[in-house]
Structure 1
Amino acid sequence: MRRVFVVAASPVVRAGLSAVVASSSKLTVVGSASDLDALTTEFEQLQPDVVLLDVSGNFQELVWELLSSQQQQDPVAMIVLADVDSIDFQAALRAGVRGILPSTSTESEIVAAVEAIALGLVVLHSDTIESLLALKESSMRQKETANPMQALTPREIEVLNMLGSGLGNKAIAKRLNISDHTVKFHVSSIFQKLGVSTRTEAVAVGVRLGLIML
């Protein structure tokens, strides 16, 4: 039997989550509380395998602080959120969270997640994964927009400028004293980094980013 401690500010939610956990033959609820102070106080006695938390509103910030400050060995927690878009994923993972589910999860999803985490697995709901991917893509776009000049190497910028002058591969190779194959490699890299497929598009993007002065 895996031992679970339930934390939720609402007594109704606490009772509901406890009942969900107790419905599994592999899990047993060893205690519940409205905050993590009780868990910190009773941890040695209760020794739960999983801490199941309902996080909402300002309580979320308190959870990260308390989890990060705990001295227990590898506390395991699953966070149930009303809105996964509002979670600070980095703070959660640093605090020792090993599972993140939206509050709309079904009873079977919650039970399966608790059982999986008790076995040492990490559990992320599909909604959470989509939010993480969106966050990563947004961060990448911000970095690219913040400093597009770093996207191309100095040699690639030089080749791009020659493309803007209308030079072909052989002329570029001769002017730079490199092989045709090397020029093709640079052009291909430029296309990939700028997200284009033709020389005309590459030149247009280069002008827009200030890489080319026509």
Structure 2
Amino acid sequence: MSDTTSNTTEPITLLIAEDHGIVRQAIVSILELQEDLTVVAEAKDGIEAVSLYQTHQPDITLMDLRMPQLEGVEAIQRIRQSNPKAQIIILTTYDTDEDIYRGLQAGARGYVLKDADFEDLVKAVRTVHGGKRYLPANVALKLADRMTTEELTEREREVLNLLAFGSGNASLAKALHISEGTVKFHVNHIFQKLGVHDRTQAVIVALKRGLIRLDD
């Protein structure tokens, strides 16, 4: 992917949404070394990110996925609801296919991992500001894999989350207020969609893909 530089004399303005202060300060320092980039606001959580976007209307927003108050995907959705042309790049440590899919589906125009070289981050900002998407090859491959898999329903996700904590059919039925027969129906559909044959495999695949998180 070729580099894209700004065609104007005005610097590209940025909002950085990152809840870890040291990481946020490092990102700001890296970006402000570039003459054509300037950070106009910093957010420590998703609610603040949405508010600061409305106040500053930056050219580019760098958004972490995991943040307090409001997570990155929801913050992206709120920003895009108010401004469908908002240019947002996800900057995160998470690279599961579900994270990538949900982030881009919400409206992000780029996806950069925090272990990338700083040149890649700067390139992503300039590329997205130039009107193009920025997806590293490994991210694009995971997105392609995700696009070929069948979507889980909301109910199937609920069942899968409970499976991750070892819930049996009786416990699942009680928690979800459904019959054990309906639980078995959902579990079988989950197995088919994930391409697995038992509950342990289902949980392992779901964790690898980012469909469930044990810290929720």
How many residue pairs get aligned? The number is: 143
Q: Find the residue that maps to 1:83 and give its secondary structure.
A: coil
Of residues 7, 16, 19 in structure 1, which corresponds to 2:29?
Answer: 19
Of residues 11, 15, 27 in structure 2, which corresponds to 1:5?
Answer: 15
2:108 is aligned with 1:97: yes
User: How far did 1:127 drift?
Assistant: 1.6
Deviation digits for residues 52-109 of structure 1 (CA, Å, limit 9, x no counterpart):
12334x7697221222123134221111221312543332123210001122111100
2:134 is aligned with 1:127: no
Of residues 124, 135, 138 in structure 2, which corresponds to 1:113?
Answer: 124
Larger radius of gyration: 1
Q: Structure 1 residues 59, 134: CA separation in 2 closer, same or farther (over 3 Å shift)?
A: farther
TM-score normalized by structure 2?
Answer: 0.58
Gap runs ≥5 in structure 1: 146-214
Shift >6 Å, 4+ stretches: none
Deviation digits for residues 102-128 of structure 1 (CA, Å, limit 9, x no counterpart):
221111000010111111110001220
Which AA in structure 2 matches 1:97? A
Q: Structure 1 residues 130, 109: CA separation in 2 closer, same or farther (over 3 Å shift)?
A: same
2:87 is aligned with 1:76: yes
Once the two structures are superposed, the pairs formed by residues 103-182 of structure 1 within 5 Å of their partners are 103-136=114-147
Distance 1:106 1:97 in 2: 20
Aligned to 1:165: none
Aligned to 1:209: none
Q: Find the residue that maps to 1:123 and give its secondary structure.
A: coil
Single out whichever of 9-18 and 129-138 deviates more from structure 2: 129-138
TM-score normalized by structure 1?
Answer: 0.58
Q: Find the residue that maps to 2:58 and give its secondary structure.
A: coil
Of residues 43, 65, 71 in structure 2, which corresponds to 1:62?
Answer: 71
Q: Structure 1 residues 138, 75: CA separation in 2 closer, same or farther (over 3 Å shift)?
A: same
Q: Find the residue that maps to 2:127 and give its secondary structure.
A: helix
Distance 1:127 1:60 in 2: 30
